[in-house]
Amino acid sequence: MAEAGITQVGEFHYLRHDPEGRAYADPDLLARRVIAAALRVGIRICLLRVAYIRGGAGVPLSARQARFGDPGMSAALEAVERLSRDLDPRVSVGLAPHSVRAVGREDLALAAGFHGPIHAHVSEQPAENEACLVENGCSPTALLEEVGLLSRRFSAIHLTHPLSGDAERLAAAGSRVCVCPTTELDLGNGFLTLDALRLPLCIGSDSHATIDPWLEARAVELHARGVAGRRNVMAPPGDRHGLARRILEIAMTGGAAALGVETYGIRPGAPADLVALDLRGPAAAGMPELEAAAFTASPAWVDRVWVGDAASSRAVVIRT
C-alpha cells in the first residue's frame, strides 16, 4: 500500500481468535499486530474493529466463522475502548458492525452510540436485501437509519444493490459510500448505481485483489460509464479539469474524511501526507498533469511518499 501511494488505511479487521475460535490471552493481540505492521511500513491506520455476532437472522456463527465472532456488540465496543488507549499519533480506531446479516437490530442500536468512524457492508448483494426485508420489513439502509447509525461518521461499503430511497437516506444523513470497483468486478457484485454517485465517495480495496488506488478511483467513473451508456458521467459542467479532480478527490480527501480526518490537503494543521508521481514516462506525454494522474497513473508512477505528522513534525519518507 505504501509503495502504491497510500498514506492511510482503514483496516476492516476481522481476525482475532485462534484457529479453534478461542480468545488469545490478550484478546486484542491480532489487532495490535495489524497496527504494528502499518507503523512498521510507515503508513497511518484506522483500525475498523469488526463486530460479527451471528451467521444470519436466527443463525449462530458457524465453525468457520468462530475466529472472528463476538458474543454481542458490547464485547466489540469494549475492544474498541481498549484499543483506543495510549495510541500512536498515526493510529486511530473505528467500529465496523459487519452488516445487517451479521449484526441484528438491537446490537446495531448499541453501535449507534459510538462516536468515531463507523463502516458497514450495505446492500452488497440482493440476498442481503431480501433477508433484511423478511427480518425487519425494510432495506438495510432504512434499518441503519432507524437505529441511528446514519450520520456524517458513517460509510456504507459497496452499496451495489440499494433499494428505493436508500441513496436519499444516506444523503440526508451526510453519510458516504466506500466503493470497491475492482472487488465488485472480481466477485461479480455489480456496479454502483447512478443515484449513489452524488453521495460523498471514497475507495476501498476490500478483498485486496488489487492494491492500486489510481485504478480504483478511475474505475468509479468507468463503472458509471458502463451503467449510463455515455462518457464523463461525473464531470462537472463547464469545468475542464473537473472530472480528473473529482476522481482524485474520491481517492484522497474522500478516504481521509471516511476515516475521521477532519483537516486534510496542503493546509495548516493537516497531516503532511504527500505523494510524488513521476510524469516523465511516455504514458503521460502531452497530457495535463491532473488528467495523467487520474486516468493513466499506476503504482509504478509513485516516486516518493511522505507520511508526516502535524503535531510532532515527524515524517516517514518511502522511496519506491
Lowest-confidence segment of 159-173, 217-231, 269-283 by average pLDDT? 269-283
Q: In 3-state terms, what secondary structure has residue 8?
A: strand
**The pLDDT of residue 313 is above 80:** no
| pLDDT at residue 316, as a whole number | 73
Total domains in the fold of the chain: 1
| pLDDT at residue 314, as a whole number | 61
Q: Which of 195, 191, 137 is nearest to 161 (CA)?
A: 191
- Which residue range(s) make up the domain with 61? 8-319
Establish if 242 belongs to a structural domain. Answer: yes
**Domain containing residue 204: CATH number:** 3.20.20.140
| pLDDT at residue 244, as a whole number | 97
Q: Which residues of 275-284 are buried (b: 16+ CB within 10 A; e: fewer)?
A: bebebeeeeb
User: What is the per-residue pLDDT across 24-55, written as a single tens digit (0 to 9) for each?
Assistant: 999 999 999 999 999 999 999 999 999 999 99
Which residues lie below 8 Å from residue 204, measured CB to CB, with a gap of 6+? Answer: 10, 157, 178, 179, 180, 183, 216
User: What is the per-residue pLDDT across 78-134, written as a single tens digit (0 to 9) for each?
Assistant: 999 999 999 998 999 999 999 999 999 999 999 999 999 999 999 999 999 999 999
* Catalytic center residues: 158, 206
**The pLDDT of residue 310 is above 60:** no
Establish if 301 belongs to a structural domain. Answer: yes
How far, CA to CA in Å, does 125 sit from each of 30, 55, 159, 203, 281?
29, 16, 8, 18, 40
Establish if 1 belongs to a structural domain. Answer: no
DSSP state of 91: E
Measure the CA–CA gap between 99 and 97, rounded to whole angstroms: 6
Half-sphere exposure of 187 (CA within 13 A, CB side): 18
Record the pTM. Answer: 0.95
Establish if 3 belongs to a structural domain. Answer: no
Percent of the chain's residues with pLDDT above 70: 98
Establish if 2 belongs to a structural domain. Answer: no
